Amino acid sequence: MTASDLPTIYRDGARTGEASEQDLTEMVGRLLSAKVTANYQVIGDRAYSAADQFEVLTAAIGSLIEGKKLRFPIRIEGLLGPDGAPPAAQELERLRWPAFRDAVLDVRDYIKTERRVPARVFIGPDAVPPVDFLAGLAAAYEHYRKNGVLPLQEGVTLGKNVELLPIRYIAKDTPGLFGGWVIHKEGFRAPKILEVARQQAWTLKPAIRKE
């Protein structure tokens, strides 16, 4: 096996541009069941990062807001993680539909232009963490799936202090983290690099071997 073989052997099934209706339903169900956490998801032979889930759900809800029928599979272009740390959670768990609708369309425009998960999602003047907004996207889609309509009267419940689990794979900035490497001087630390890595944890997911 050589490096050039790896993209074929571990081909990313979610990067073929296909998130089926069945996968989206399963994805949303897992997000809502977890409640206070968000993680990558493996569904069949496909792995979806938290960024993939954010992209797919934003696209789906955005299309429904515009009155369009959802067409599956939903294409996944691939997003980078945020370019900064999220804001503190807000006391905005329940949103009226117009506020949520406007936020979804703003987020959709942002990811089309920047190709990354936003560091913060604005609900009017208030900023909420993108992972809390992801929970709201899942809730809105589940309402549509069950009722055939978006929650225009009921509004949308956001997550609050939802934990992005893949961050646990990123090392913490400790004095001895880079110790013992000949290329690093004694006491070398790189807190900014590790902070970037924490934000890119949105994109982490397992590689699945294709037989």
Query: Checking DSSP bridges between strand 156-157 and strand 163-164, what pairing results, if any?
Result: unpaired
Q: Who wins on pLDDT, 61 or 183?
A: 61
Three-class secondary structure of residue 140 per DSSP = helix
In this predicted structure, what is the pLDDT of residue 15? 54
Residue/partner pairs of 90-95 with CB below 8 Å, 24 or more apart? 90/123, 90/126, 90/127, 90/128, 92/123, 92/126, 92/128, 92/158, 93/157, 93/158, 93/160, 94/155, 94/156, 94/157, 94/158, 95/123, 95/136, 95/155, 95/156, 95/157, 95/158
pLDDT > 90 fraction of the chain, expressed in percent and rounded: 76
In this predicted structure, what is the pLDDT of residue 90? 82
What average pLDDT is seen over the chain? Answer: 91
- Per-residue pLDDT of 10-26, as tens digits, reads 565 555 568 999 999 99
In this predicted structure, what is the pLDDT of residue 18? 80
Question: For 134-157, what is the mean pLDDT?
Answer: 98
Cβ-based neighbours of 140, under 8 Å, separated by 6 or more: 61, 100, 104, 150, 151, 156
Question: For 36-40, what is the mean pLDDT?
Answer: 97
Domain borders along the chain are: 3-203
Question: For 154-172, what is the mean pLDDT?
Answer: 96
* Alpha carbons within 13 A on the beta-carbon side of 36: 1
Of the given ranges (49-53, 85-89, 111-115, 146-150), which has the lowest mean pLDDT? 85-89
- Tell me the range of 87-101, 139-153, 165-179 where mean pLDDT is highest: 139-153
Question: For 88-114, what is the mean pLDDT?
Answer: 94
